[in-house]
Structure 1
Amino acid sequence: MHPAFTIGGAALALMPLAMTLASRSSPAVVGFAALCFLAGCWRVDRAALRALLPPLVSPPGLAALAFLAWSVISLAWSPFPALSLRMLSEFLPTLLAAYCLARLAPGRLPGFAPTLGAVAVVLSAAYVAVDLAADMPVERFLGSRVAAFVFNRSVMTLDLVAGPLAFVLWRGRQRVAAVATLAFTMLGVLRSISGAAMMGLAAGLGMAGLARLLPRRAGIGLAGLGLGLAVALAPVEGDLLARVMPDAMHAQLTQSSSRARVAIARSFGAAVAADPWRGAGFGTSGRFAETPAAARIPGEMRVLLGVGHPHNSFLQVWAELGLPGAFLAALVLMLMLDRLARLPRPDLAVALGLVATSAAIAFVEHNAWAAWWTAGLGAAISWAREAARQRVEDAATRSFAMGGQA
């Protein structure tokens, strides 16, 4: 194995631990890992580099490229082109690195990588749980920021990576490591204060379980319905939640600032209604209160447009990219599900679990273009594709053995 593959595999495996120690580090780690695999393939397997292009001209790839093209076109009417360019400069390189890693790492990972990944997840989750239980003594000693939410990105990254990594371990007959990966992830997530990570954990486990129990079409249909509604109802999410969420539920979700999130969603939804056709422009959420669309809504609704983003990636797409962006995003998601529908049942369950986890977190949390989130998705998909490669290799081995016996 080329040394670059060994180093890149180690970087991929250690990414969750890096995120726990430095909560914005995943783009750098994933970018480094992708460069390692690119360098290794350049030296020993250039055909793999040529194989990076065909997926981009498949239906999902073309839809994704169309979405990115519309995002770039929206800079033409962005009131803050410098801000839009800065967001693109953070998002696009990380997206490219995540794509290269997901395409090149599977089949080229060193044998120790899944085990090292499990160790990284266990150490990350244990550190989060112990440090929070002890009132964050390490951060106090180092003079760092002492706030429980500093681990939120870390546990959301664990949410993404844990399922696919555990599946790789399980298929590699490392059953104890697979169970430990899931168990410690649950410990870290449940001990944290991230309501989004808890939602992602519950959604992922629930969807994976349903995908194993329901007929294939029912599982895909359920995922499609959920994603379709998330996109279609995003502009009216705030109004709907304001009507249906009782005060008792808000009281239970005080730590998650549910009232504020509903108010933010209502404000951004009103801005979408004021300019639904093209949006304010890519990456403008950071200054959305100053956009032309914001000026068209009542003054009291504009206050919460200054929070930086709507805490709902689907709503952010509507606000920044309008109806064309929302349509293209939905098209990408539906074409993705069409591809996933062809997977064997175990792989499908893990894939839909990852989809549900990602969608649940995206519905309530971060900036849609956050580089750390894109990097985490790239790492998770890399592990899922590695599990699929293991399945193919196992099938080939069994076929060869049966042929030999005959």
Structure 2
Amino acid sequence: MPLNSIPARAHGQTRSAQTTNRLYAAGATLLAVLPLAMVLANRSSPAVIGLAALAYLAARWVEDRRSLVPSLLAPLRTPLGLAALAFMAWCPVSFAWTPFPGASLRVLGEFLPTLIAVYLLACLAPGRIPAFAPRLAAAAIGLAGLIIAIDLASDLALERALGRRVAAFVHNRPALTLDLVAGPVALVLWRARARGLAGLALMGAALGVLRSISGAAQLGLLAGAGLFALARLLPRRAGIGLAGLGLGLAVALAPVEGDLLARIMPEAAHERLVQSSSRARVAIARSFGAAVAADPWRGAGFGTSARFAETPVAGKVAPEMRILLGVGHPHNSFLQVWAELGLPGALLGTLVLLLMLGRVAGLPQPDRAAALGLVACAAAIAFVEHNGWAAWWTAGLGAAITWMRAAAPRAAATEPEMDGPA
């Protein structure tokens, strides 16, 4: 080999490494500023996550393209990956009987690209997030929470200045995003011995969530913090069992949620939750539950919630129960799966959740407690809020999972196992 070719090769490798590092830094920056981006534009998270995923994909291609595809396919060969693929496969299968295939395709077209982006990010980013990014994320979370609090206290002065819709609920999505990402980011910072910044992230998120008008965000905060604390105190099996019981009940009781709440929820509770429209939510849950009871086996088809009142199954529901089938979605993602994908969708979804808990059970502390806190937070929100296929929700949850996985590589080396009897 000519000697003058050695410096040229070294120079090429240096340039390649610089390109890779810049792409990783760009992707990590986008991941870190997601909470702040959501405050400034509450539909921005899919675009932010998509760009972050592209940056990491490009960086990994430059760094080691030979191992890229195997590393992306490996998680899909696990029991959890296969169950998730089976669930996703059932969604387009339901196109065979959906009365609105165009609408179903549009919903899938919003959901699937974001799902792919978060999968790429969760696979490629952990272990390749520069040291500055968790600190930037803490600052973004703290600033996002502060902006939410100040804007609401000033009668939405920021929204007025930006010429946007002036309504307090514009901060609900940012608050829900803070709910999801704050705990995982704090765990990464705690691992890095930046515990003051970890506390800042948690306090900033709590400020934004508690100041917002989103009852779902506040419920998620309470559920996540509660299960995190219990998982730190309880033996491994008890914490996982508690989470499994909660998820199992969320799926099993979703079709009868409305009837149960109508019977047991006191009027005083409705009065205290008037801002959360609890009466309307109970009535909506009863209507969609009646639709599930009318056709529990296959559902109305993926993505039909927005036009559920026009589906054939709606005609089988009592007339007084049909009106609220037109609200857009059942305000319960577990019930939405039942209504759209039927019993097969519910069973496959439950299998995914239980296999996910199996993975969480193998984590050391405090990773396991933080993961269970995230599960409880997300499940509590999903039980009372939003369209389950919404891209902004998928993006926020994917960002949280990415941060959770980012803490894992150093977990075994830096934290001894401190747990009760297994």
- TM over 0.5, yes or no? yes
> Which of 60, 72, 75 is equivalent to 1:55?
75
1:343-362 equivalences in 2 (<5 Å): 343-362=363-382
Partner of 2:9 in structure 1?
none
Structure 2: which 5+ residue stretches go unaligned?
1-19, 417-422
Does the CA-based 8 Å contact 2:305-2:330 persist in structure 1? yes
Instruction: Note the C-alpha offset of 1:138.
Output: 1.7
Instruction: Note the C-alpha offset of 1:142.
Output: 2.5
> Which of 87, 90, 101 is equivalent to 1:67?
87
Q: Greater CA deviation, 357-366 or 46-55? A: 46-55
Partner of 1:7 in structure 2?
26
SS at match of 1:23: coil
1:388-403 equivalences in 2 (<5 Å): 388-392=408-412, 394=414
> Which of 207, 211, 214 is equivalent to 1:187?
207
Structure 1: which 5+ residue stretches go unaligned?
397-406
Q: Distance in 1 between matches of 2:403 and 2:69?
A: 19
Instruction: Note the C-alpha offset of 1:380.
Output: 0.3
Q: Distance in 2 between matches of 1:175 and 1:235?
A: 43
Partner of 2:327 in structure 1?
307
TM-score normalised to the size of structure 2?
A: 0.93
Matched, 1:17 2:36: yes
Q: Greater CA deviation, 277-286 or 45-54? A: 45-54
Post-superposition Cα deviations, 1:12-40, rounded to whole Å, max 9, x if no partner, equal: 00011001100010000001000000000
Does the CA-based 8 Å contact 1:75-1:81 persist in structure 2? yes
1:71-220 equivalences in 2 (<5 Å): 71-220=91-240
Q: Distance in 1 between matches of 2:164 and 2:84?
A: 39
Letter in 1 for 2:111: F
Q: Greater CA deviation, 278-287 or 166-175? A: 166-175
Post-superposition Cα deviations, 1:214-241, rounded to whole Å, max 9, x if no partner, equal: 0100000000000000000100000000
Post-superposition Cα deviations, 1:252-290, rounded to whole Å, max 9, x if no partner, equal: 000000000000000000000011000000000000000
Instruction: Note the C-alpha offset of 1:74.
Output: 0.1
Does the CA-based 8 Å contact 2:119-2:398 persist in structure 1? yes
Partner of 1:319 in structure 2?
339
Matched, 1:223 2:243: yes
Does the CA-based 8 Å contact 2:191-2:414 persist in structure 1? no
Post-superposition Cα deviations, 1:343-399, rounded to whole Å, max 9, x if no partner, equal: 112110000000000000000001010000000011001100111112245479xxx
1:255-334 equivalences in 2 (<5 Å): 255-334=275-354
TM-score normalised to the size of structure 1?
A: 0.96
Does the CA-based 8 Å contact 1:280-1:320 persist in structure 2? yes
How many residues get paired?
396
Instruction: Note the C-alpha offset of 1:141.
Output: 2.4
Q: Distance in 2 between matches of 1:348 and 1:189?
A: 23
SS at match of 2:88: helix
Instruction: Note the C-alpha offset of 1:149.
Output: 0.4
Instruction: Note the C-alpha offset of 1:97.
Output: 0.4
Does the CA-based 8 Å contact 1:216-1:345 persist in structure 2? no
Instruction: Note the C-alpha offset of 1:49.
Output: 3.7
- Which has the larger Rg? 2
